[in-house]
Amino acid sequence: MPLPLQGLSAIVTGAGRGLGRAEALELARLGAAVVVNDYGQPGRDGSGEASSAPAEQVAEEIRAAGGRAVAHTGDVSDFEAAGALVALATGMYGKLDILVNNAGILRDRMVFSMSEDEWDSVIRVHLKGHFNTTRFASAHWRERSKASGGPVYGRVVNTSSEAFLAGSAGQPNYAAAKGGIVGLTTSTASALRKYGVTANAICPRARTRMTEDVFTGFGEPAPGELDPLAPEHVAPLVGYLASPAASRVTGQLLVVHGGMVAILDRPRVAAQFDSAKETFSYEELAGVLGPYYGDRSPDETFAATEVLSLKRA
């Protein structure tokens, strides 16, 4: 019986460690040929010996298990590097079928203390990085669709975060970037639907090197037990969204961690007020919005903090 991703090729960004590594390994396990992207050059290990770049280490891990993989160490926040990444996939495997955008960094600070560079760097790597790769991948799929005269196989899996849903106070840059990624995802899903391409976003909760200071209060697993925040809880959902089985799943946002997947609904209109005349005056707005918000708790905002309490039943 063929594997679900047999004959397909994939890019996973930020795949040298943590969540991206788990996702790349899962896609390879399901049969995909993988381009493992992670920004970084060869360095030195703990003994002082030369070590290969993290992307190459993961690619070698896939090859050792019998899969197909190649490493790419370019920075996806660089437009030309992202183009080269997609070109590597199409050149190596003949086409690109799956794009998993995972690369990111943290520069946490309160909004009143944040530097311009801390803002710019996070927006650049997360949001621009997602756009850059999506731009070149989507152009590839559009060209293939025009050449074939019909839909093609294409999957985009983007990485958002609960931080944007809950309004993480110490992460204005990260929350803004992750919210932007959801907008990018839904726009991409709408634009590429006619070409046969799906685009979805996940909000994973995983204990990785990037988040080791974020999840300090969640405790460690008991000996022999899988960490509830292990990246391995997230990777299977990415594998599913990348597969033919998910052909009807697009424009969706899913929270995933610890043996749980939650599908989030789109925002709903809570109330509507119409002006008595052609347009509102200040006085009329104060008369209708004042009582409305006067009866609401000040803690009831657009932020969906309840997602932080989601867990496996």
Q: Which residue from 154, 41, 53 is spatially nearest to 95, judged by alpha carbons? A: 154
- The verdict on whether 195 is a catalytic residue reads no
- The verdict on whether 292 is a catalytic residue reads no
**Rounded distance between C-alpha atoms, residue 68 and residue 32, angstroms:** 8
Cα separation values, 260 from 79, 154, 159, 243, 311, Å: 35, 26, 17, 19, 6
- The verdict on whether 146 is a catalytic residue reads no
Q: In what order do the strands lie in the sheet with 98-100?
A: 69-72, 33-37, 9-12, 98-100, 154-159, 197-204, 253-257, 260-263
| Burial status of residue 188 (CB atoms within 10 A of its CB: 0-12, 13-18, 19 or more) | buried
Residue of 39, 93, 153, 174 marked active site: 174
Phi/psi for 277 (5° steps) reads -110, -160
Residue of 161, 168, 195, 243 marked active site: 161
With tokens 């437009």, the residue in question is 79
- Tokens representing residue 275 in the block: 């002006």
Contact 13, 100 (CB under 8 A): yes
Residue of 138, 160, 178, 195 marked active site: 178
Residues annotated as catalytic are: 161, 174, 178
